[in-house]
Structure 1
């Protein structure tokens, strides 16, 4: 079981615009990227995401698209999407460790997919709970937005390949 932050980013390191839009990504995404994502999902047993990612998904999908247990880290009340969605807050390092342990148990030996965002990824990396960062770099710059990682993480390149117009890099978190 690994905890994997698998996301797309602009060339200048943003995973969403300032207003949390991902429209830039879907304008660039191709069939190869979708196939790789489907293959990745075969190994995923549970998901975790921040409130902004969750809200974006609710706005852009007709129904909840995942059949996996999903934790949404938030301090706000959010609408339920259907499916196995659990709202949680982790107000301390210990609370985040405990929550990660619960999520890993629910994954049943499969990987935990950190969908986003960059703040959660940085916190998990800082606590030694993030194993890999898989980044698909889109052929676009945004100039500003929500950062890929909102803190330091020391990484080592494990794999680099091309998927259509995307450069894909898999890093181990040190």
Structure 2
């Protein structure tokens, strides 16, 4: 059995913000599929930080209803049935998930969860969709830390809209 992979798949502006200053994501291009159908067929679980989960529920409450959702939060009080919450022991919980049979796992975000999983060396792949605009300010892709990670470019895709997708695997 192959071990499942955690894949960070997200959009960013050219200046590497994943949201605008007020949390807006209306700048993300949605006029094409951009490979999402194939990606969604590859995964069965979505990992979300508290803020990303709240935003997903607010913006698209029925999105990804066929996927298991796991939210990482110490403060979130109410979650609907079918959504798992992890409050502690992130590394242990994620390693258990990785060794449970299933498809790959989408790390949806946000930056706190992404940075924590990156520090724990638990992210296997990155799919970064760089949108052709500069936001100027907003929420950055990662929280700065002193850890260096080598990535290996495995693919690139360009689209007529100017969007560029970069595919990396983490050199572990």
> What band does the TM-score fall into relative to the shorter chain?
0.7 to 0.9
SS for the counterpart of 1:159 is strand
State the shift of 1:49 in Å.
0.7
Aligned residue pairs total 164
Q: Which has the higher helix share?
A: 1
1:4-26 deviations in whole A, cap 9, x for unaligned?
Answer: 0011111100111232221111x
Which blocks of at least 5 consecutive residues in structure 1 are unaligned?
Answer: none
Report the equivalent of 1:89.
Answer: 87
CA contact (8 A) 2:71 2:86 kept: yes
Correspondence 1:144 to 2:137: yes
Cα RMSD of the aligned pairs, angstroms, is 1.9
CA–CA distance in structure 1, aligned partners of residues 63 and 131 of structure 2: 25
SS for the counterpart of 1:57 is helix
TM-score by length of 1: 0.84
State the shift of 1:3 in Å.
0.6
Which blocks of at least 5 consecutive residues in structure 2 are unaligned?
Answer: none
CA–CA distance in structure 2, aligned partners of residues 49 and 164 of structure 1: 30
TM-score by length of 2: 0.85
Moved over 6 A (4+): none
CA–CA distance in structure 2, aligned partners of residues 63 and 71 of structure 1: 15
1:41-97 deviations in whole A, cap 9, x for unaligned?
Answer: 101021101111111111112535322221111121244245x2112223xxxx221
